[in-house]
């Protein structure tokens, strides 16, 4: 039973989490990701959310690349004092509890240390009792009302970059330069999201071979294009890291580590793309990327007892792999930049 830290907050009824392969598959057997529900933007206009220091709390999960983007950008911009954070997870010891989605089983008394909530979904159903979708991360929760203010992973990092600028650290990087915003949005929305970030899920959740092969071709064709792009560019838009690089990195960090387990024969591992692999390691050198990438949590296998005849590779070996050493191998991409020691455009 929730034990809310705010006595004025009342419990809400929670519902079982919908299953993607039952509720988000079209007639072709293709995965159609549910739209984000809480998309009220941040801004100064009427009805828009106001960026305030200390009002919002970010919930994210180590394995979820959609939310990992927000955790990386939050640290890059130095917003730790402005936006507090909790990492959600799943109680793997209790199958019944897992039916209700993201929880706080890793914390004392299995509740959120900030609010006292037991499930992330409580913030969703308090914001909209009629909500029927999956409760997802990232979720930016209003600590005054214990409701989800925004769960729009398409735009959340942009809000941190623009609307929360007054609370960023001195000399914070400009990840979303005004003169590049149209180009960044185009790459994010029309290439990275459909073919790369969501492309892996389109393969993993496909319920027909036609849908799988379509997603497979989209993903690897796009990697070929980006491999060529990174031949002469240190980062996706040249000398400096932008919002797009964060979005690309979080998928790259999970492909050879985890995603491959749910796919058929793959065309290439990420480590076989000379430019992309060097680029990914170049990003991993940046503390905010490294601090927010939990390789062992991403890779850890499902069969913890290892008693079956056939046990998946990650269950057998993931805990023994030195991912940090692999990702910290020298990559020598500095020569591509006019400012080799400076990876960021300072706003």
pLDDT in tens, 76-130: 999 999 999 999 998 878 888 889 999 999 999 999 999 999 999 999 999 999 9
Percent with pLDDT over 70 in the chain: 100
Mean pLDDT of 214-219: 98
Count of domains observed in the chain: 2
Please answer whether residues 163 and 79 qualify as being in contact, where contact means their C-beta atoms are separated by less than 8 angstroms. no
Same domain, 218 and 129: no
Q: Are residues 148 and 184 in the same domain?
A: no
pLDDT higher than threshold 90 for residue 7: no
Q: What is the pLDDT of residue 347?
A: 76
Eight-class DSSP state of 167 = G
Look up the pTM and report it.
0.96
Q: What is the pLDDT of residue 1?
A: 59
Q: In terms of domains, do 28 and 137 share one? A: yes
Residue 152 has pLDDT above 80, yes or no: yes
Structural domain contains residue 253: yes
Say if 173 falls within a structural domain.
no
pLDDT at 266 over 90: yes
Bridge partners of 277? none
For residue 296, the model assigns a pLDDT of: 96
Domain co-membership, 100 together with 235: no
Kindly tell me if the per-residue pLDDT of 264 is higher than 80: yes
Asked whether residue 342 is assigned to any structural domain, the reply reads: no
Distances (CA, A) of 122 to 93, 155, 320: 21, 23, 37
Q: How confident is the model at residue 250 (pLDDT cuts 50, 70, 90)?
A: very high
State the pLDDT at residue 304.
77
Q: What is the mean pLDDT of residues 290-309?
A: 89
Residue 29 has pLDDT above 70, yes or no: yes
Q: Are residues 219 and 317 in the same domain?
A: yes
- pLDDT bin (cut points 50, 70, 90) of residue 20 is very high
CATH number for the domain that contains residue 311: 1.20.1050.10
Say if residue 25's pLDDT is above 80: yes
Q: Are residues 120 and 64 located together in one domain of the fold?
A: yes
78: left (phi over 0), alpha (psi -120 to 50) or beta: left
User: What's the chain's average pLDDT?
Assistant: 96
The parent domain of residue 44 ranges over 20-167
204/159 same-domain check: no
Catalytic residues: 64, 201
In a domain, 4, yes or no: no
- Nearest in space to 245 (alpha carbons), one of 314, 303, 212, 196: 196
How do residues 171-189 score in pLDDT, each as one tens digit?
999 999 999 999 999 999 9
**Does residue 247 carry a pLDDT above 90?**
yes
Query: Within this chain, do residues 102 and 201 fall inside the same structural domain, yes or no?
Result: no
Cα 72–225–294 angle (5° rounding)? 25
148 versus 306: the higher-pLDDT residue is 148
On whether both 62 and 147 belong to a single domain, the answer is yes
How many residues can be counted in the chain?
Answer: 347
DSSP 8-class letter at 88: E
CATH number assigned to the domain comprising residue 144: 3.40.30.10
Q: Which tens digit of pLDDT belongs to each residue from 188-209? A: 999 999 999 999 999 999 999 9
For the cut 90, the answer to whether the pLDDT of residue 236 exceeds it is yes
155, 289: one domain: no
167, 196, 223: which is the final residue of a domain? 167
The dihedral over CA atoms of 240, 242, 247, 250, expressed in degrees to the nearest 10, equals 40
Task: Please tell me the distance from the alpha carbon of residue 133 to that of residue 160, in angstroms, as a whole number.
Answer: 25
Of 119, 135, 167, the position where a domain reaches its end is 167
* pLDDT level of residue 6 (50, 70, 90 thresholds): confident
* Residue where a domain terminates, one of 167, 198, 226: 167
Interatomic CA distance for residues 140 and 134, integer angstroms: 15
Residue 11 lies in a domain: no
Domain membership of residue 341 (yes or no) is no
In a domain, 294, yes or no: yes
Residue 301: the pLDDT is 84
Distance separating alpha carbons of residues 66 and 226, to the nearest angstrom: 20
- The CA distance from 273 to 143, in Å, is 44
Using a pLDDT cut of 90, give the percent of the chain over it: 90
Rounded to an integer, what distance in angstroms lies between the CA atom of residue 187 and that of residue 277? 19
Would 3 be classed as within a structural domain? no
Q: How far apart are the first and last CA of the chain?
A: 46
Residue 155 and residue 249 in one domain: no
Task: Estimate the share of the chain in helix, then strand, then coil, as percent rounded to the nearest 5.
Answer: 40, 10, 50
**H or E element in which residue 322 lies:** none
Same structural domain, 327 and 188:
yes
């Amino acid at each position: 039973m929730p034990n809310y830290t705010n006595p004025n907050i009342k419990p809400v009824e929670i519902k079982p989490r919908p299953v993607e392969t039952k509720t988000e598959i079209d007639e072709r057997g293709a995965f159609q990701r549910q739209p984000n529900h809480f998309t009220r933007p941040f801004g100064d206009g009427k009805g828009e959310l106001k960026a305030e220091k200390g009002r919002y709390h970010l919930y994210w999960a180590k394995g979820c690349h959609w939310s990992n983007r927000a955790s990386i950008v939050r640290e890059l911009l130095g917003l730790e004092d402005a936006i507090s954070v909790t990492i959600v997870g799943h109680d793997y010891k209790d199958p019944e509890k897992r039916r209700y989605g993201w929880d706080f089983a890793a914390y004392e008394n299995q509740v959120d240390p900030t609010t006292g909530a037991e499930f992330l979904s409580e913030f969703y159903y308090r914001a909209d009792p009629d909500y029927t979708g999956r409760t997802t991360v990232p979720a930016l929760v209003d600590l005054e009302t214990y409701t989800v203010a925004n769960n729009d992973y398409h735009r959340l990092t942009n809000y941190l970059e623009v609307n929360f600028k007054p609370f960023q650290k001195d000399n914070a990087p400009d990840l979303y330069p005004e003169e590049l915003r149209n180009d960044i949005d185009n790459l994010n929305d029309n290439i990275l999201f459909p073919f790369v970030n969501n492309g892996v899920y389109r393969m993993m959740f496909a319920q027909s071979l036609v849908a799988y092969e379509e997603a497979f071709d989209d993903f690897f064709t796009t990697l070929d294009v980006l491999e060529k792009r990174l031949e002469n560019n240190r980062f996706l838009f040249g000398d400096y890291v932008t919002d797009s690089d964060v979005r690309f990195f979080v998928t790259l960090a999970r492909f050879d580590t985890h995603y491959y387990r749910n796919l058929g024969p793959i065309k290439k591992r990420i480590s076989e793309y000379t430019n992309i692999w060097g680029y990914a390691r170049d990003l991993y050198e940046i503390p905010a990327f490294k601090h927010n990438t939990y390789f062992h949590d991403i890779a850890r296998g499902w069969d913890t007892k290892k008693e079956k005849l056939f046990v998946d590779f990650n269950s057998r070996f993931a805990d023994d792999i030195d991912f940090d050493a692999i990702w910290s191998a020298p990559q020598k991409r500095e020569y591509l930049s006019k400012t080799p020691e400076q990876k960021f455009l300072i706003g």
